[in-house]
Structure 1
Amino acid sequence: MPIFPSFAPPSSFRLGLRAITGKSGKSVISSTVRSISTRHNPSTSCFRYSSNGAHSPLRILANRYSYNISSRRSVGTLFRFRAITEYISLPDSYEDAEGLPFRKEDLNQREVQKIFGSHITAQNANKLLRILHGRRVAGTLEDPNLRVNTAHFNDSDQAKALKYLRANIPVDEIINAGLRAEDELKYLEEQQGKENVEQQPGGTSSQDSRSSKNVKKVNVPTGKLPKPPKSDSPYGESQFDRIRAKNIAKREAEEKRLAEEQRKREEEEALKNIGTLQTQQEKPKALSPRMQKWTERASSDWKEPPKMKAWERLLPSLAMTILVCAACAAYAAMYTPPARSNRLWPDIPPAAATCLALIGINLLCWAAWKLPPLWGILNRYMIVVAATPRPLQLIGATFSHHSLSHAAMNMFMLWFFGTRLHDDVGRGNFLAIYFASGTLGFMGSLANLVLLKGLDFTTLGASGAVYGIIAAFFWLHKHDEFKLFGYPPDPMSGPQGLYFIALILGLHVLPLISKKAHNLDVASHLLGLLGGVVSADLVKKHMDDKARIRAERLKNMGTLEKSVQVKDLEKTPPASDGR
């Protein structure tokens, strides 16, 4: 018994691949597989340096035919030279006047002319590039004391050189400058501590300290602060020491950046600002006098829930639940379908008419929540309030929704499964299952709120009744096979109705175990499912009894008719022969 019409879904992956690659799809796939399965696939860095300068990956791919060397040879020769780009790797012999090499070979005159023009020689251009590259690594680009080494270069050439270096040699100038500033601060603190020691009794004279300080300043390499020994080992600094120092520097820089972002975020929150525009948060709009009047009428003036025992809150609603279930059973047993001429919509099938009426009532209640004058009545009878429960709330909340998405989902499921269940059991049994499941579901939800969650919660919606309809439908077809979209294909058999009930239960039990139910009223759904299963079982037994009684009546009526026909034949005189 398929729920949805069967169809064969196309392969979206194949259609998309053909649309993109055209007829060469197979070749693309095969080449991709070959590239992935290649054993020797050397990894390339983001930038590479050669005699023609440093190029980005896109430029390498665009000009790959300009290099008259094979790919294997380029891997072996072009990546041998690595320019120093990190402050932590700055050599102790570095001086600003000499700079740092930015590539393996200097630029030739033709390359210099493309960058600077013809007014500067290749020797001077390479010197300027080395000095500026060294400052980028040392974090001294903005140091005014070092401009004497580039004073004979005009500002235009310096700007062009810096643009070329930034475009071809990636250096994180901000981090390097931050590390340089930290080292300067430590150096100044150490010098201040030494001065304080020298000024103490027993120390050297002020003249000696000044002379020693001047000697130290002379001995400091230009643009480079003296580093303390990195390792106490008599064998000197190892590669592991350098790697550890580099990682520590990166971690400290990242922690400093995160702390600065956190500080700015806290300042913005303290000033009640939004984003980078520093716009002040708008205050909530004041309600109009009419809206304020309706809000006050619909709201309670209680500062806390009334003090009541749990049974005092649950007992009236429990009595209403029992009364509703009994009324539903009586209605289902006594209901007689009206004649077609007496129906409100004679041209619409009974199942569609019943479900459309329920959907219309639910949508009207959703629209009523948009009207402030009705809030007072709706708060009293159309929503289950754990603090102040009323028995009629169990029935009214079954037709009430706050959000349109919640109402639309419930109404879709009501139409999809309700029309099918209505065709199986009839209007009387269908309405009995709907109301009994919805009332029982909200009774379970109210007990859960009062006994476990608390009195600050409310609940509403037709989910309990809808889940009762779904459970009743699958319970009546618990041994029937279903196919979704034609799957599984014949001759395979589809899942039975019991599997769908188990699936729904599993989807509701898992949130309870993982405590991720959020605002989902799981208790209402589970009690609605239970009400649907029990109601469907009772309805099936009642329908079987009625069918058996009808069959026996027809059988007796047939025997009576036979006996009446025999008696009529005995009383009838024999026909005359015409004599």
Structure 2
Amino acid sequence: MALPRGASSIRSSFQLAVEVVARPAIRVLNPRSTSRCFSTQYSCLSQPASRPLRPGFPVSVSAPLSRPLQQRPVRRTLFTHAPIYRDYVDLPRDYRDEVGLPFRRDPLETYEVLRIFGPHISTIEANKLLRILHGRRVAGTLDDPSFKINTSHYSKSAIDAALKYLRHAAPVDEVANAGLRAEDELRALEEGEATPEEADNAEATEGTGYTSRFKMYKDQSEDNVYGEGALDKIRARNIAKYKEQLRQQEEEKRKREEEEAKAHPGGLQTIDQRQPRAVSPRMQEWKQKAVLSDMKEPPQMPAWKRLLPSTIFVAILVAGFTVYAQYYQPPDWRLWPDYSPATATVGALILLNLAGYALWKLPPAWPLMNRYFMLVAATPKPVSILGAMFSHQAASHLLVNMLFIWFVGIRLHDEVGRGDFLATYMASGSIGFLATLYSLVLRKQLHLTTLGASGAFYGAATAYFWLHRFDGFKIFGLPPDPATGIQGLGFIGLMLALNLTAAFSKNAHRIDVMSHIMGMAVGLAAGVILEKRHKTPAARQMPLHTKTDLGVMGKIVEKK
């Protein structure tokens, strides 16, 4: 069975059968011919001459649908979402311009708004603008100036970007819809249909030259020998409505200013009234230098040109640390002899991450940090993969990563030694970021960036728990004896489940799940290799005088 042209979604035959059972009589609304028209003139639209006027529709092109239309079949079943209207003949009876129509099943997410509009509009306002404009495209009022009041606070660039997105994502025959609306209004004028406003004011029009049936022209008056026509009446009504909306806005603004003046008699400004603090010339200079380039869009280049240099760099980095792990021997002289080797190694990694966080707080360091301590998908620099592993911009991100690296890193270092630990840590972090770069480039998400030590931590944690995959771990002494606690495999499964859940959440664009999962994969491979190299669990135990006392951290999670 062929669907009507302009249907909002494709439905199965079973769904159509359910609709037929639920609606024993379906009236065909305004059937159209199948001929295509490429002219901008409305007269070329192929329409049956006997197409009935939709009852209850206002006469004016610019008048909103303030009165509901008569009941008609709605294309919606138990198996469909809210319909996406594309044709004028399917316009819902409760449509209002200030509310608009849904342009897709779910509203845009924040990352989609950033991609379409940039950072100058909120997600809520962007979705509202898209709904209003899509409704006008369907209702045929896109070019009607009387409705501009509902979008007057949006910039022209935002409106142009919204229309560009809608015309690509939700195609609508705007010319045909505008022509159909114009035909309905003209037919209403010719047949004397009353507008909802005239019906409401029927009593007021008595004795003024109007009858209960809306005439094309009113009786002649002294001021106008031709009489006031229907179009003149529509124009006057719309102008009066526009002026009333402006008056209400001014009244609301005046009341708001009076309330703020009463709340702050000393003349204190509210947050909305405060002027932004002036930026010093030196700060402006630092900000300008920190910008990677003056490009308005990512440079056009094949994907392999973005991926190949970083791939070669990561391969060399991982190979170098693998050789280092094979030939590493503990030195006879140590910089911090009072601390265990694990404390010195993990402590040095934490200090490097703290230094990276501190540099982000220094404006003169911004150009360096933007170029070499953050992975940018649009213009990737190979060395930035290494720098991003020691870079954090948020204190909470830094604190969580360093806490877990201290807890897991020292335990793994105590068992496998410095060479194997550093090889596992660096390989997990670098390969994790390389996987993220591949994902962003191949999916054309060149506007995203990433940084942090999470991939390296997940790799080290996975390697450690794999080595103890059948050992039990108690948290704060729970569960009590004789239970042995959660096995290492349980912690690996928990980390994987958390990342898979984050991948399908609304904040997925804020979390580098790809580097986490790839870091876990590298850590798992490293755990298998380390288990073979160190033979038995007993052989992995370091001498007692080199083991690290974790203190309180060691009592939080105890291995049994």
What TM-score does the superposition give when structure 1 sets the normalisation length? Answer: 0.47
Which of 1 and 2 has greater Rg? Answer: 1
By relative contact order (CA 8 Å, sep 6+), the higher-ranking structure is 1
